Amino acid sequence: RKEVEQDPGPFNVPEGATVAFNCTYSNSASQSFFWYRQDCRKEPKLLMSVYSSGNEDGRFTAQLNRASQYISLLIRDSKLSDSATYLCVVRTGNTDKLIFGTGTRLQVFP
Amino acid sequence: GAGVSQSPSNKVTEKGKDVELRCDPISGHTALYWYRQSLGQGLEFLIYFQGNSAPDKSGLPSDRFSAERTGGSVSTLTIQRTQQEDSAVYLCASSPPPGLNEQYFGPGTRLTVT
């Protein structure tokens, strides 16, 4: 079983739609959680950290469920520019090592 | 300020040759990471440095792969006797102390082994 699992998609949604991505992780000792965004043929960039209480950044909302070992990302009012691959990322314990999921691809169409 | 830089941006080599990939982290960043990403795949962790030491080399695929970091700054990833399955984008990232937060990625080196 992979340490971090995501639905690869693609998710094809119209502009203005709300879309949600899910991610599960296998190590209950995981302590830090992030969503990264990767555009085609570009490097990954941090989108947002995920906090235990859930957090929001504009149209983006991230949630963490430790009991179910589950992380989610909700994007409201999708824009064409949101088209990218969204990577779920987990850090376990006090190591500096990040474990990346394989990513969920989002395509927003006009 | 300057971000993470990597060189070369593209490298085409013949099977069996050795290659060296370079990473220049953001100044002051103590942690440095190497990943590789094959076409359509996720990021595969290779190795990470804290300063000049490598606490975790668990991701190196074989003994043909090695990496070093000098002066707590530049790192070199060396692949000896390259194979076609080594073809991938090799990404370097760095993070500031204490190294527990955001990783900043370089643009990557696209390696093609023919």
Contact of B36 with B60, CB cutoff 8 Å: no
| Optimal mutation site among B43, B48, B56, B104, interface A, most CBs of chain A within 10 A | B43
The residue ranking higher by pLDDT, B67 or A51, is B67
Residue type, A59: R
The residue ranking higher by pLDDT, A1 or A91, is A91
Q: Give me the residue from B31, B43, B101 closest to A100, CB to CB.
A: B43
Strand duo A84-92 + A30-38: pairing: antiparallel
The continuous run of DSSP H or E covering B88 comes out as strand B88-95
Quick one: pLDDT at residue B7? Answer: 97
Res B72 pLDDT > 90: no
pLDDT in tens, B24-33: 999 989 889 9
B48 interfaces chain A, CB cutoff of 8 Å: yes
Backbone phi, then psi, for B84, in 5-degree steps? -60, -35
Per-residue pLDDT, averaged over B63-91, amounts to: 95
**Hey, are the CB atoms on A96 and B31 less than 8 Å from each other?**
yes
Residue of B nearest to A37 (CA): B105
pLDDT in tens, A24-74: 999 888 888 999 999 998 999 999 999 888 899 999 999 999 999 999 999
Backbone phi, then psi, for A71, in 5-degree steps? -125, 145
Res B99 pLDDT > 60: no
Q: Could you please report the per-residue DSSP string of B3-71?
A: --EEE-SEEEE-TT--EEEEEEPPTT--EEEEEEE-TT--EEEEEEEETTEEEE-TT--STTEEEEE-T
B91 interfaces chain A, CB cutoff of 8 Å: yes
Contact of B104 with B2, CB cutoff 8 Å: no
Q: How many CB atoms lie within 10 A of CB A88?
A: 28
B96 interfaces chain A, CB cutoff of 8 Å: no
